[in-house]
Each structure stands twice: as C-alpha cells, then as structure tokens.
C-alpha cells in the first residue's frame, strides 16, 4: 500500500457472492385428494363404492372449468405432494461453509461514482486465526481504468483447511478523478464448521487389532461417501471388513457399480471396521516396532448436487501391542488322528527380535493339576533346535501321541533358551479330534 493513499468517500465498492451449487426450490403445498375428504379410511374396501365415488368426483371436476384457484391444492400428478417446483435457487448468502470444501466466490468491483478511476490495484485474501492466504493480486498488472457504472469481476477459490472464523479481505488501491490515491478495504466474515466427526475404538483380540470408526454427519444435507480409506502406519497392514448385506447400499448396487454410502443429514452415522495385522518387510519377515500410531483416515464425499469435500484425520493412536521375542505356531497336523498312534505335527519357531537367540530346547511343560496330558510327546521328551538369527525362523517336526478320544487340545509346548535360561510359553491351545481304531 502506498504511503500517499488516503481514506474518505470512495468511488469503488466490492460486491461478493458465494459460488456454489444451487439448491432445489421447495414450495411445500397442502395438497389434498377430494376422495379422502368425502370417504372414510375403510371406504375403499368396497371396490364398487370406491369406483363410483371416484367417477363422480372426476365428472364434477370436468364440468367445472375454473381451475385458477379452487383446484390448486388438488393432487393432479403423483409428484405434486413433493413440493418441487422444478426451479433451482441461487445462494442468497454465504450459507454454511464446512471444513474440507472449496470456498469459491464471485467478486465484483463496481464504480458507482460519476467519474472514471484509473490504475486500480486489487487484492483478495483469506485471513484466519493462523495465517493469511493471498488469493488475487493485480499489483504487477493493475487494471487500467474502470469507467462510470462499470465493474471489474473475478473469481477466487480457497480449499478450507481450518475451523473457526474466516475473513475475506478485499482491497483496492486506485486514482480518482482528481488524481488522489485512495485505499479501499472491505471485510466479509464467515465461520467454517466441522461437517462430520470421526470417533474411533481400538480393540486387541489376541494378536489381531481391530479398529472401529463411527462417522457422524453434522450438516443439514445428506453426505454421499465416495471414499473412506484407512492409511495404516508402515508397521501395519489394514483390511476393511465389509457387511455384504447392508441394506443402505444394496438398493443402488444394480444401478451403480460402486454405490456410495449415504450418511443422512442431522446426525446420521455409519460404522467402518478394519482389521490390522503387522506388516512384513521386503524379506517377508515381520518386524515389530513399539509404536502406538495406527494410521489415519482419508475421507471424500459429495453433497446432494455433487459438491465435493475431503478431510484427513489426525494420526489415530492405539495401545502399543506387546510382542513376544519368540513365537511358535502349529503349521499343520494330520487330518486323521487315531488313539494311541503317533502322529507328526509341523511347527514353526520365529525370532521376532533384532538379535540372535538360542539354541532352544523344545519340551512339553508339566501341569501339576493334570498328571497325564491327553496329547503328549512321543519318544524323546526334549527336542534341540539351533540358534535363530535376527528375525529368522525354523520349521521342525514334533512327534506326538493322543491318549484320549474325542476333541482334545495340544497345549503346553514350550521352548527354553539354553543360553539365556529363559522359558517361552509359546504355542496357543489347538484342538484336534482323536478317532478310535
């Protein structure tokens, strides 16, 4: 701004109109059917009486040629009670502006004086509590002149990324008819609200983490969710669990290949469920990192007339999952297991640390409350395994024998680190069915 600019009566004035999709012009009328006024609810149960009365009413309407006033509330078409006139309504004010939308405004600089103004420099900025964003600046190429009654129009856009109070600052620096340099600022304030809220719950079931997200619509219009993607942190892989029988999307599945999820206005909600598992590295080994960051959501939607919106949540935190240094799992058991007959089970021992562990001694722990286990080791009671490198694994066979019929459990298999003298209770209980000979 030039130091010689002065205030006072101005020749120019800013006019601002928000550019957005028009809305439907709804004129809710009181539409009635004469048949409902002349008959009771059960009158149409008799088809003869119903058809006679409807024929009489239709004949009376045909005789009366004055349809200008008396019949304006009568239902003539099936769409009459909806109240849609077929017209679209342009925005009359800034209206509700939500986070994630694109604020678009049509700005006009009008010369309402009786003389021409010259060398007009125009600026448009968005001012928030944190920053000031320049949308337009013509200082390098000023508008040469705006004649009497003329105007200069332009359009500005801004992706809304902050909540709270916003101010559209429009300013003009120009020379009036007397050659005096004048500065005109005008301010247009609006508030940005949150269109939706995302509430999350994290549950850990054994070695699996489940993330539930509840999205609630705070706007006055339905939101059509184009995309609700969870971007997991690098140590996680996420899979969304779908409901194949969701009635909210089945109605559109035959028309639209990927129908959007509709979240109703004024507090409608929709739940999303994701299954999180540790992500393996390039070598295929799972490396566990003690971090509570699970990831973040990328959400895109459209309103009734297709206006887009986009939000990204903050990082979602969960309780750090404690991982064992050593894990052992049953890979395969025979499909048929017979009583008192040895069988071989395939197991896998994995080192989940970044250091070398072992050698190991695999054995079956003894439970004081149960002297004889239904499934025991057959032959040597201890199996020696070599050392495991960092994030390495080893497959081995363990000979077992079942001493009881029916459904039994393989439990109590442990591994002893002979170097660190540390015992790992590893294999989770696995059920098998023991048959007779």
Between 164 and 326, name the one with better pLDDT.
164
pLDDT for res 29: 59
- Cβ-contact 20, 94 below 8 angstroms: no
**Range with the poorest average pLDDT among 12-16, 144-148, 411-415:** 411-415
Which of the two residues, 214 and 258, has the higher pLDDT score?
214
Per-residue pLDDT tens for 92-123?
777 788 999 999 999 999 998 888 999 999 99
Nearest one of 398, 280, 284 to 330, comparing CA atoms: 398
Share of the chain above pLDDT 70, in %: 74
Handedness of CA 379, 384, 385, 386 (dihedral sign): negative
Query: Which is nearest to 328 in space by CA: 414, 409, 402?
Result: 414
- Say if residue 39's pLDDT is above 70: no
Task: Indicate whether 139 pLDDT > 80.
Answer: yes
The residue-averaged pLDDT of 144-162 equals: 92
pLDDT digits (tens, 9 = 90+) for 18-28: 887 777 777 66
* Highest mean predicted confidence (pLDDT) among 26-30, 62-66, 317-321, 390-394: 390-394
Q: Which residue has the higher pLDDT, 113 or 4?
A: 113
Mean residue pLDDT of the chain comes to 79
Token duo for residue 381: 């009671």
Mean pLDDT over 160-187 rounds to: 91
Strands (E), 281-378: 293-302, 308-312, 316-317, 326-332, 337-338, 342-351, 360-364, 375-377
User: What is the three-class DSSP state of 41?
Assistant: coil
Top-ranked range on mean pLDDT: pick from 29-43, 146-160, 311-325: 146-160
Least confident of 133-147, 151-165, 418-432: 418-432
User: Most confidently modeled of 33-42, 174-183, 420-429?
Assistant: 174-183
Whether 276 shows a pLDDT value over 70: the answer reads yes
Is residue 302 a contact partner of residue 308, using CB atoms and an 8 Å limit? yes
- When mean pLDDT is compared across 14-28, 236-250, 318-332, the lowest value belongs to 236-250
Percent above pLDDT 90 for the chain: 27
Top-confidence residue, 212 or 9:
212
**pLDDT, tens digit, for every residue of 366-399?**
665 556 778 888 877 888 888 888 888 888 888 8
> Using one digit for the tens of pLDDT, what is the confidence trace for 40-63?
556 556 666 556 555 555 554 444
127-158 exposure pattern, b = at least 16 Cβ within 10 A, e = fewer: ebeeeeeebeebeeeebeebeeeeebeeebeb
Tell me the C-alpha to C-alpha distance, in Å, between residue 399 and each of 244, 344, 393, 402.
43, 5, 20, 11
- What's the whole-number mean pLDDT along residues 262-280? 87
SS3 431: strand
Three-state SS letters, the chain:
CCCCCECCCCCEEEEEEECCCCEEEECCCCCECHHHHHCCCCHHHCHHHHHHHHHHHHHHHHHCCCCCCCCCCECCCCCHHHCEEEEEECCCCCCCEECCCEEEEEEEEEECCCCCEEEEEEEEEEECCCCEEEEEECCCCCEEEECCCCEEEEEEEEECCCCEEEEEEEEEEEECCCCCEEEEEEEEEEEEECCEEEEEEEEEECCEEEEEEEEEECCCCCEEEEEEEEEECCCEEEEEECCCCCHHHHCCCCCCCCCCEEECCCCCEEEEEEEEEECECCCCCECCCCCCEEEEEEEEEECCCCCEEEEECCCEECCCCCCCCEEEEEEECCCCEECCCEEEEEEEEEECCCCCECCEEEEECCECCECCCCEEECCCCEEEECCECCCCEEEEEEEEEECCCEEEEECCEEEEECCCCEEEECCCCEEEEEECC
Higher pLDDT, 296 or 363: 296
The single residue listed with the structure tokens 């896998």 is 348
Tokens 């052992």 correspond to 328
> Looking at residue 1, what is its pLDDT?
34
Please give the residue that has the higher pLDDT: either 301 or 351.
Answer: 301
- Per-residue confidence at 287, pLDDT binned at 50, 70, 90? low
Confidence of residue 66 (pLDDT cuts 50, 70, 90): very low
3-state secondary structure of 410: strand
Structure tokens at 146: 């705006």
Residue 193 has pLDDT above 70, yes or no: yes
Q: Between β-strands 151-159 and 422-425, what pairing exists: parallel, antiparallel or unpaired?
A: unpaired
3-state secondary structure of 93: coil
Q: Of the ranges 7-21, 70-84, 327-341, 350-364, which one carries the lowest mean pLDDT score?
A: 70-84
pLDDT-based confidence at 230, cuts 50/70/90?
very high
Average pLDDT score over residue span 321-334: 77
Cα-based distances in Å from 391 to 282, 287, 352, 354: 12, 7, 5, 6
pLDDT value for 205: 80
Cα 249 → chain centroid: 16
Residue 153: is its pLDDT beyond 70?
A: yes
Tokens of 72: 């304006």
Among the residue ranges 178-192, 212-226, 282-296, the one predicted with the least confidence is 282-296
Q: Smallest Cα–Cα separation from 174: which of 25, 13, 53, 335?
A: 13
């Amino acid at each position: 701004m030039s130091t010689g600019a002065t205030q006072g009566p101005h020749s120019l004035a800013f006019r601002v109109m928000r550019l957005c999709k028009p809305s439907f012009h709804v004129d809710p009328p009181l539409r009635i059917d004469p048949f409902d006024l002349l008959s009771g609810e059960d009158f149409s149960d008799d088809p003869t009486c119903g058809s006679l009365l409807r024929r009489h009413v239709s004949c009376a309407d045909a005789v009366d040629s004055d349809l200008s006033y008396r019949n304006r509330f009568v239902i003539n078409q099936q769409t009459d009670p909806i109240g849609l006139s077929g017209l679209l309504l342009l925005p009359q004010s800034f209206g509700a502006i939500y986070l994630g939308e694109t604020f678009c405004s049509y700005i006009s600089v009008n010369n309402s004086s009786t003389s021409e103004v010259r060398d007009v420099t125009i600026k448009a900025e968005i001012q928030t509590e944190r920053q000031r964003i320049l949308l337009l600046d013509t200082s390098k190429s000023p508008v040469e002149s705006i004649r009497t009654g003329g105007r200069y129009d332009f359009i500005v856009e801004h992706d809304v990324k902050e909540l709270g109070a916003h101010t559209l600052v429009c300013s003009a620096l120009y020379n009036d008819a007397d050659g005096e340099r004048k500065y005109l600022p005008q301010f247009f304030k609006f508030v940005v609200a949150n269109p939706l809220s995302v509430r999350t719950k994290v549950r850990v079931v054994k070695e699996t983490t489940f993330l539930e997200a509840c999205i609630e619509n705070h706007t006055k219009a339905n939101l059509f969710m184009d995309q609700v993607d969870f971007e997991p942190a690098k140590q996680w892989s996420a899979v969304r669990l779908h409901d194949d029988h969701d009635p909210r999307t089945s109605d559109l599945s035959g028309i639209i290949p990927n129908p959007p999820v509709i979240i109703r206005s004024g507090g409608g909600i929709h739940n999303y469920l994701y299954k999180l598992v540790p992500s393996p590295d390039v070598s295929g080994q799972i490396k566990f990192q003690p971090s509570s960051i699970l990831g973040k959501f990328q959400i895109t939607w459209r309103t009734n007339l297709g206006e887009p919106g986009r939000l990204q949540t903050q990082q979602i935190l969960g309780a750090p999952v404690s991982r064992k240094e050593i894990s052992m799992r049953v890979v395969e058991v025979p499909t048929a297991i017979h009583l008192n007959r040895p069988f071989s089970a395939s197991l896998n021992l994995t080192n989940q640390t970044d250091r070398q562990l072992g050698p190991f001694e695999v054995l079956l722990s003894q439970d004081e409350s149960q002297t004889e286990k239904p499934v025991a080791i057959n032959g040597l009671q201890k199996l020696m395994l070599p050392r495991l490198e960092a994030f390495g694994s080893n497959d081995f066979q363990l000979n077992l024998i079942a001493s009881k019929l029916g459904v039994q459990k393989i439990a109590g298999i442990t591994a002893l680190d002979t170097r660190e003298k540390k015992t790992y209770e590893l294999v989770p209980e696995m059920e098998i069915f023991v048959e007779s000979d």
